[in-house]
Every structure is written in C-alpha cells, then in structure tokens.
Chain A
C-alpha cells in the first residue's frame, strides 16, 4: 500500500517538518523513494534535505495547487508526504474536500492519511477534531510531541480530548534534549545514514541518545503505518 500523507498542525513550530522528514526516512529505509512536498516556499527546509525528491509549492497560487494535488494523487509506486505550513492549512484542506482528493488518490491506489500534531492545550484538540470532521473518512493520526510541553489537567476533561482519545491511531514523539535536536538539524546529518552507521564525530553518549530517540520515533511510525495497512481493506483494482 502507498500513502499520500499530510502532516499538519494548527501550531507553528510544532515539529511538522521534523515529522515529515522522519516519515520520508521511514519510507526510504523501507526501500521506497518517497516524494516530499512542502508549502513553506520561503525556507523550503525539506527541499534542502531531499534535493532530488522534494518540491516547495505555494498553496495560494493555482499554478502551484495543480502540481501539488495532481502530484499527491497521481498513480505511482512511491508514497508522498506533504509538510503543510500553518498558513496553507485551511486552503489545502478546503481544496482537498472540494476536489475529492481522497477519491482520486484511492482510484490511484494511494491511501490519504493525515498526521496531525496537537499541542497540550484544549484548543489544539478542538481544532484537531474540527479538521478530522472536515476531511471525513480518512485515517487521522493524532500526534503528540512531548517537546510542546505537558498537557494541563483541564484538557483531559474536554469533550474534544475524550473524542480524540477514541481514535484508532495515535503517535508520540518523545522529548529530545534541545542540544541533540540541534545536531539533528545540521545540514550534513542524514537520519538514514545515522541509523545505518552512527559513527559520527560526536560523544558516545550523544550518539547513543540521538540514535535511541530516532529508533523510538521510527518505531512509532512503523507501528502506525503498519496499523493503517492492516486496518483498511485492500484498495479496489484499477479499472
């Protein structure tokens, strides 16, 4: 099964780009050559990481919307990942519904999946719920990033939290020491290379902590993706 994955959040700096990068690395380590899209055309951080397989597109321009949606739903043997900026979120999801993106993707044997990073506030969960209802029948993975802080008690009593707690797919990104996160951000640090051969010039405990974190997150991704593959019935054969 191949996927058209959208990584979104109502929060800025919630870890969308990091998660998008890790998802791409998961598929690469699985032997695929995923295509990565991002809508932050100014910084285009993923285009720098995956120069041959990443496209930065402006969601506000029709001329960029077309290759984005057409590309995300086109037939092919590789999964697609979209790092969706905050500013582009509403436009993207409205157009996703208007264009019947899900139907088109499924016709081309791609399962659309939303990975939504929620912060620790009640408002984050309410927005997650609104989005989940808006996109309709589509695997929705609620992602909690420990780096965003601890949830307040009031969150656990909220209707949105209770409803989202029932979701089938959840994922946790554990906290990582900020200094280690800086190392991960270095331009010459490729996660798959680090996994395969972590003999970089860094202190052994740093190397071990970083590797342990990467393995945990990739395991989470693997667990969720496998779960979706098993949970959803086989896609219909192409006519």
Chain B
C-alpha cells in the first residue's frame, strides 16, 4: 500500500491553514484512515496543541527534519502524512522536496501526493498557484477557499482559472463553510480536536461541559466540511486503493 503525503500550505499567513489541517485530521480519523502530522510552526506548534498524539513539530527548513518526514513514509503505520507548512514557506518547501527526489518518487508512483493550497481572498492568490504549479503535475491539487470567518473571495474569471488550473492534471476547489465565531473561539479555548469538542470531552478524556448549542454548530459545520472532502474525492485521490466507499 503506497503512502500518501498531503501538504497544507499557503504563502500568506492568517488564511486558516492550521484550522484546515485540523479538519483534515478529524476527517481521516472519522474514516479510520491512520494518519500522522508534522507541524512546521517550530518551535511552538499550533496543530500539535490540538492533535498532540499524532503530531510532531519540525523545522521544515532543516534537512534533518525533512529526512524525518520523507525517509519514514513507508516505515510507519500512518498511511497518510499531513504536513502543515508554516506561512510563507510553501514554495520553498516544495522546492526542497523536489531537490530531495520526493517528486521523482511521486512521478514513479511510489508515493501519492496532494496539496491543499489555502488561498487568500485577493486575486493575487492566483500568482501563488503559478508558483506551486511545477510541483503539482503528478499530484492532486486542491484550491481551498476558507470561508470560516466569512471572508469574501475574488470571483474566478473562467479563462484565467482554466489557465492556472490546467497546470495540474487533477485540480479541485474546496470551500470551507463559515463557523460561528463563538463556536470557533470555544474550540480554540478547549484546545481539542473538533470531534472531541462535539463529543463534549476535554483533552484528558473527561467531561468537557461545553455548550450544547456550540457543539451543535461545530457538529453541523464539520459534517459540511466532510461532505466537501467527500465531494472533492480527497481520500480517493490520496489513497485510492484504501479509500472506503462513500455510504
């Protein structure tokens, strides 16, 4: 069974990249797909705060930490390796991976690759797509618009969109819906995965005593996010042989 790598990145900060990584980890857990994560917000990782059991903090610019990630793709139980790339480091990381031969392995079919490219709200994000285009030729490219905070995004011009999206054989748009601010903040304060918050548990597994209403909002929102991931075929594209069929 070939391993898969999903990079979650953006060249701008504050677009919700780590929040999206958190939803992916919840989604993979719900699908019983073993996953591990690397949080490149070294030294203090935000992703690790929410998913401590499966997340390791790394400095993605260091060769030693790149080896820790790429050299162990096949030698551990996790089928999917999620890498949450620090803002501004996406292009450099992909180049480093190219130089290490990672994309040769993707081309050879030894590893599946996917990129969750979290776009900013302005049309300048299209330039970001150009920058990552050389690396997504043999992978699955997901252009992610994060509406969690009710951001307004630019409208795609069909011709321009086609020009950028045609650089990948497999491009899909994903929209993360809005989540009410109070619910967002409560989950942040709780410091637990979204699914744990919904189950009303704290980080130690005890009663969370979170608001019923906020849990309901998070539950509904996470269902919509999972439905988007299903629609976009995230699991099928990353791990085609193992992806469970949608019920």
Chain B, 197-247, CB within 8 A of any chain A CB: 211-217, 219-220
* Secondary structure dominating the interface of B: helix
Enumerate chain B residues within 8 angstroms of A95, measured Cβ to Cβ: 213, 216
Interface band, chain B? 10 to 19
Q: Chain A residue with minimal CB distance to B223? A: A98
**In the complex the two chains form, is B216's CB within 8 Å of A100's CB?**
yes
**In the complex the two chains form, is B219's CB within 8 Å of A99's CB?**
yes
**In the complex the two chains form, is B213's CB within 8 Å of A62's CB?**
yes
**In the complex the two chains form, is A99's CB within 8 Å of B182's CB?**
no
**In the complex the two chains form, is B216's CB within 8 Å of A66's CB?**
no
User: 9 A-B Cβ contacts within 8 A?
Assistant: A62-B213, A66-B211, A66-B212, A66-B213, A95-B213, A98-B217, A98-B219, A100-B212, A101-B216
Enumerate chain A residues within 8 angstroms of B219, measured Cβ to Cβ: 98-100
Chain A, 42-75, CB within 8 A of any chain B CB: 62-63, 65-66, 68-70, 73
* CB of A104 closer than 8 Å to a CB of B: yes
**In the complex the two chains form, is A98's CB within 8 Å of B216's CB?**
yes
Number of interface residues of A (CB under 8 A): 14
Smallest beta-carbon distance A134→chain B, Å: 15
Chain B, 178-210, CB within 8 A of any chain A CB: 180, 182-183
**In the complex the two chains form, is B180's CB within 8 Å of A62's CB?**
yes
Partner of B182, one of A63, A68, A100, A104: A63
Chain A, 197-212, CB within 8 A of any chain B CB: none
Q: Chain A residue with minimal CB distance to B220? A: A98
Inter-chain CA distance A214–B62, complex, in Å, is 80
Smallest beta-carbon distance B185→chain A, Å: 11
Enumerate chain A residues within 8 angstroms of B212, measured Cβ to Cβ: 66, 69-70, 73, 99-101, 104
Inter-chain CA distance A119–B62, complex, in Å, is 72
Sample of 6 more A-B contacts, CB < 8 Å, known A70-B213, A98-B219, A104-B212: A66-B182, A66-B214, A98-B220, A99-B215, A99-B217, A101-B216
Residue with the greatest number of chain A CB neighbours at <10 A, chosen from B180, B213, B214, B219: B213
Chain A, 10-69, CB within 8 A of any chain B CB: 62-63, 65-66, 68-69
Enumerate chain A residues within 8 angstroms of B214, measured Cβ to Cβ: 62, 66
Inter-chain CA distance A104–B213, complex, in Å, is 11
Smallest beta-carbon distance A96→chain B, Å: 9
Inter-chain CA distance A73–B220, complex, in Å, is 19
Enumerate chain A residues within 8 angstroms of B211, measured Cβ to Cβ: 66, 69-70
Inter-chain CA distance A196–B213, complex, in Å, is 40
Smallest beta-carbon distance B222→chain A, Å: 11
